[in-house]
Amino acid sequence: MGLLDAHCRELIESAMDAIIVVDDAHRVVLFNRSAERTFGVPAADALGGGLDRFMPERYRGSHAGQMRAFAASRVTRRSMGMLGTIAGLRADGSEFPMEASISHFEVEGRTHLAVILRDISERRRLESQLLQAQKMEVVGRLAGGIAHDFNNMLMAMFNFLALATRELPEGHAARGSIAQAIAAGERAADLTRRLLTFSRKRAPAPGAVSVREVVRGLEPMLRRVIAEDVRIRVALSPDVGNALADTGQLEQVLMNLVINARDAMPGGGTLTIEARNQALDEDYCRTLVGVSPGEYVMLAVTDTGVGMTPEVRAQIFEPFFTTKEPGKGTGLGLATSLGIVRGVGGHIAVSSEPGAGTSVKVFLPRVDGGVAARGVARDAGVVPHGSETVLVVEDEPTIREQVAQALREAGYRVLLAGDGVDALVVAGAHAGEVHALVTAVVLPGMSGIRLAQELATTRPRLAVVFMSGYPAESIEARGIDPSTCEFVSKPFAMDDLLRRLRAAIDRRRAK
Quick: pLDDT tens for 269-317.
Answer: 999 999 999 988 887 777 676 788 889 999 999 999 988 888 887 777 7
Out of 146, 175, 203, pick the residue that ends a domain: 203
The mean per-residue pLDDT over the stretch 124-140 comes to 67
The phi-psi region of residue 300 (left if phi > 0; otherwise alpha if psi is between -120 and 50; otherwise beta) is: beta
Cα 323–chain centre separation? 20
187 and 217 share one domain: no
Pick from 345-349, 418-422, 471-475: least confident: 471-475
Burial class for 405, CB neighbours closer than 10 Å (0-12, 13-18, 19+): middle
Which of 122-126, 193-197, 255-259, 488-492 is least confident? 193-197
Show the domain range for 102.
Answer: 2-119
pLDDT for 364 equals: 93
pLDDT of residue 65: 67
Mean pLDDT lowest among 274-278, 380-384, 476-480: 476-480
Same domain, 34 and 86: yes
* Domain endpoint, select from 175, 203, 231: 203
Indicate whether 114 and 137 sit together in one domain.
no
Q: What digits encode the pLDDT tens for the residues 221-254? A: 888 778 788 899 999 999 999 999 988 789 888 9
Shared-domain flag, residues 323 and 342: yes
Residue 293: is the preceding peptide bond cis (ω within 30°)?
no
Q: Please state the rounded mean pLDDT for residues 75-85.
A: 50
Q: How confident is residue 378, by pLDDT bands cut at 50, 70 and 90? A: very low
| 448-454: average pLDDT | 92
Q: Are 76 and 57 contained in the same domain?
A: yes
Verify that 256 and 350 share a domain, yes or no. yes
Looking at the fold, whether 298 and 172 belong to one and the same domain comes out as: no
Number of domains in the chain: 4
Q: Which residue among 158, 183, 203 closes a domain?
A: 203
The residues near 374 (Cβ < 8 Å, ≥ 6 apart) are 186, 190, 247
Q: Are 370 and 208 in contact (CB under 8 A)?
A: yes
Which of 325-334, 396-405, 420-429 is the most confident on average?
420-429
The reported pLDDT for the residue numbered 184 is 77
Q: What is the model's pLDDT at position 143?
A: 64
